[in-house]
């Protein structure tokens, strides 16, 4: 599965995620898009089983931003599934 996060500063033109952009991203293999925002930055998390994040990062940046040079690209380093575990047993020392 390919995963990529695109960061765009909010002072730049807003990231476009309309139907035309969705179609462009789908053509790159993206099947899931999450849009996140705080006061300074907009983040687009892109995922897809057929999405080649390494080869398609530049095309994805062009698809979502008016100025793709202003887009920061975050690539995954580690991916892990987490499971809730029972509480670890603590050993009490008696004197």
For residue 24, count other CB atoms closer than 10 A to its CB.
16
- Asked if residue 48 lies in contact with residue 32, where contact means CB atoms within 8 angstroms, the answer is yes
The reported pLDDT for the residue numbered 60 is 94
Mean pLDDT throughout 50-68? 91
The reported pLDDT for the residue numbered 65 is 85
- Asked if residue 64 lies in contact with residue 71, where contact means CB atoms within 8 angstroms, the answer is yes
Res. 1: pLDDT tops 80: yes
Written as six digits, the tokens of 57 are 């990062």
The pLDDT-based confidence of 79 (bands split at 50, 70, 90) is confident
The reported pLDDT for the residue numbered 16 is 65
Q: What's the sign of the alpha-carbon dihedral 15, 52, 82, 78? A: negative
Return the closest-CA partner of residue 50 out of 35, 71, 29, 28: 29
- Domains for the chain: give ranges and CATH numbers: 2-74 (3.30.70)
**pTM flag (> 0.85):** no
Q: What is the pLDDT of residues 14-45, one digit of tens each?
A: 666 889 999 999 999 999 999 999 999 999 99
Cα gap 10→37, rounded to integer Å: 9
């Amino acid at each position: 599965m390919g995963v990529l996060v695109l960061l765009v500063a909010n002072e730049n033109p807003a990231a476009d995620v309309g139907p035309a952009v969705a179609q462009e991203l789908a053509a790159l293999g993206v099947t899931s898009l999450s849009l996140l925002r705080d006061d300074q930055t907009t983040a687009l998390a892109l995922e897809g089983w057929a999405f080649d994040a390494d080869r398609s990062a530049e095309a994805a940046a062009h698809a979502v931003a008016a100025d793709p040079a202003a887009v920061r690209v975050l690539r995954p380093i580690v991916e892990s599934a987490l499971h809730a575990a029972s509480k670890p047993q603590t050993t009490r020392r008696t004197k």
